[in-house]
Structure 1
Amino acid sequence: MALNETESFSNYSNTTAEDKCAPDREVSQVIFSVLYSVLFIAGLVMNSLAIWVFFQIPSKSNFIVYLKNTVMADLLMTLIFPFKIAIESSFRTPGLQVFVCQVSSVIFYLTMYISIIFLGLISIDRYQKTAKPFGRSAMCKPRTAKILSATVWLCMFLLVLPNMILYKGEVMPENERKCSSLKTDLGLKWHEIVNFTCQIIFWSNLVLIVVCYFLITRELYKSYRKTRGSSRQAKKINTNVFLVLAVFFICFVPFHFARIPYTLSQTRDAFQCSTQVALYYMKESTLSLSALNACLDPLIYFFLCQSFKNMLFAKLHTCTQGLTKKQKDVCSSSMDTPL
């Protein structure tokens, strides 16, 4: 996965062989600009609300710590969407393209993989709570989770930092869209290292999450067979637990499968032009699903975190009471005013 990848097609005005393989820019600009605009508004509202609620909840468990880090990564990703919108619009400039290549795209993918890592950590934590609900080890202490979270952010930032600085310092030509054209030789080599590392991060977390939820399912059914719990209650808990798995598969799996043939289409002459264009749209469409993660993660907070749900309802109830009292005061004041 390219941590600073934008469009890899050129947009020359003259008729060239590369133009024949370029997608319809007018169509893609409209579709993806509208799509990311909707994601930006929804993600900004939902994650701002989530942060507002989480700031009222003490970090007394690993689960809360991981969720707080996830919402910070999601909000940071959401703030990058306007640059994605601008680069797809008529407001695109060579200077903006350079900024997108060096900074915003790097942050976009940085937050994506941080979210992937924390979804894996959440899965481990859920399994530990299911297998040993009353256990308390050093790994279950919030302090350990905080240190681990800080390590994740630091290591990922150090991994992508060279992608921000290993550039030639040149302005991108008007018709150029390849970020690789601005990289130094060392930057291109580091880019390959980052790609390989991110693939390892994704696939290892995919295996980790699947294994964890398989073990969680086994523990749940063992528990309900012993206690003879109601099937309705078992189904509810099972559905909530698998929400993380569903979000992971919807948002990240399609993109990483589409990424492989798309990369080959850009590095080898083994595909026809029509196939290259189809792979481009497939990559961009699945990338938007990865961006959708910033809007779906709040569902995890609501359905899996009882503290979040309770605090959210409490805050909304307080706000509702405040508005009702204010309206009553206004009405009372208007009735007391002489005509």
Structure 2
Amino acid sequence: MTESEKNALANFSGLVIAHSSFKRAYDTILEVIEFNKINQAPEPQSVLVLAESGEGKSTLFTHLTNTLPKRYEVKEGLDIVSKIPFFNSSIPTNATPSTMAQELFASMGVGDRNKHAAEQRIKVALKKAGTQAIFYDELNNIAGSKTPHKIGLARGYIRDLISSSGVMIVGFGLPECEEIFLAEAQVRKRFPWVERMTPFEFDLDPKSEFCIVVKTLEQAIAQSRHLYVQIEPRMNEGFLTSLYATTGGSINAIKKLYEQALKNAFDGDHILNTEKFSIAADRMRFPTSISRNGFREDRKICLTMIADRCYARR
């Protein structure tokens, strides 16, 4: 792949999709950050963003971490101090409250041999670093096997972290986070803001969110048109139907499908057409898909499945 192709793919991957639930969650997070900054209450308000896999949580998390101020260093007196306005972490599936705490301690340069002393030191360190928010992606992972004991530990970690540090948490997780964390009153009161991201509804109206997003992606590809002999598919009903059927209207799945199809074109003959999307759809598995065969599915069957899905949501 040439340098220009790599840059085109990188720019495309960074595209933020204009979806109402995405924008609402994004605006809420920024507003709460600003509110906590002005309010300066002993305990800040925190935000929980819930969505099924592939509906845009990690895209939103990545966009926020790329656009908000990053770590930098300043001189305070004779010392060089690291400022960390926003601490960001994607929680792995084998995470525990203990390993999360250790990561936070390490990032802040604080030892954790004595738990009580460490909590005091990290509070001081966060204040010195000017940390405004701690972002956690895949928050549901810290509950592990979801046993009452593990859930209790996860709740305790989140509750105590907010209380001891005085720093807000922005958590991104599956809908099960509502039961894991918000079922306990002491955690719920610390998360007065809960945003739920949703997939697109199927709609072929050119002014619908679904069509606007697809058009935005097509325009992003058109900016790299010098890389292609021809660009297909265009905004036609058959393609839009298959696209929705393949991705289930998932904001992230649509973006990933376009990215993979674009990569297939880069790696092959520099032609982006329906076949490239078909190959990408066959290789990728989306949790919210309602079609097994993606772009090769018969249009009438797609429409029936979409209608059934939309009916089931009512």
Structure-2-length-normalised TM-score: 0.21
Structure with higher RCO (Cα < 8 A, 6+ apart) = 1
Higher strand share: 2
Structure-1-length-normalised TM-score: 0.20
Higher helix share: 1
